[in-house]
A and B are shown apart, each in its own frame.
Chain A
Amino acid sequence: EAGVAQSPRYKIIEKRQSVAFWCNPISGHATLYWYQQILGQGPKLLIQFQNNGVVDDSQLPKDRFSAERLKGVDSTLKIQPAKLEDSAVYLCASVGGWASNTGELFFGEGSRLTVL
């Protein structure tokens, strides 16, 4: 079974520039998450999708971050304009269904963003 795919793996930009990250979850997984992991900290939930609908985006800085999951499969996370404090690893994760399995989140390798 293919895992969660993310790209790019690494991105370096200057502050005020924009960046976009892409995620392809495990086939059939309805729930998709974007987490932000700052160095030395735990993953912080940014946004959660159920199919193509947003379930929770309460922690998403909406003045600069946006995310979408068109057609309920792939998702993109965009930052515009980027700030220095956005430097982090952006992790995408998916889960098939909490009722039917262990509820294990499958994470992608992450996209490491450095803002200079």
Chain B
Amino acid sequence: GENVEQHPSTLSVQEGDSAVIKCTYSDSASNYFPWYKQELGKRPQLIIDIRSNVGEKKDQRIAVTLNKTAKHFSLHITETQPEDSAVYFCAAKGADSSYKLIFGSGTRLLVRP
């Protein structure tokens, strides 16, 4: 089955700097890659996603890139702000009809003011 690995497990950046979180997946047939943000004690919420037919997607300060050949995708946050501090999870969904979404282990991002 699908396996998703995420790095780093923790990331500390200065406010205003950029943050990059990387994930790799095992199933080459996977076709959908969302990123979820989870603040302390709250539910995970979708912040951006990308499908396998595109290589990059941007939404204001966040962007996701996908390299299908290497089977990895990354989350980029520019001009980080303290409110970006949270745990970020990547995920991957296989191409079959099961709609099964497998999550990475998470990255705890701390933005220092």
A-side interface residues toward B, CB under 8 Å? 31, 33, 35, 40-45, 48, 50, 55-56, 58, 91, 95, 98, 102-105, 107-110
Contacts and interface: CB of A to CB of B under 8 A. Distances in A.
Contact of A42 (B6, B32, B99): B6
B43 A103 contact: no
B101 interface: yes
Provide the main secondary structure of the chain B interface: strand
B100 interface: yes
B101 A109 contact: no
B100 to A, nearest CB: 6
Interface stretch (B12-20, B66-74, B78-86, B102-110): B102-110
Contacts of A31: 99
B44 interface: yes
Given A42-B104, A42-B106, A48 B98 contact: yes
A95 B98 CA distance: 12
Given A43-B89, A48-B98, A55-B99, A103 B49 contact: yes
Contacts, number: 58
A48 B99 contact: yes
Contacts of B113: none
Contacts of A56: 98, 100
A104 B106 contact: no
A93 B14 CA distance: 34
Contacts of B93: 98, 103
Given A44-B103, A45-B100, A102-B46, 17 more contacts: A31-B99, A41-B105, A42-B106, A48-B98, A48-B100, A56-B98, A91-B43, A103-B32, A103-B49, A104-B34, A104-B49, A105-B34, A105-B44, A105-B101, A107-B44, A107-B45, A108-B43
A104 B48 CA distance: 9
B105 A42 contact: yes
A74 B16 CA distance: 44
A33 B43 contact: no
Contacts of B49: 102-104
Contacts of A58: 1
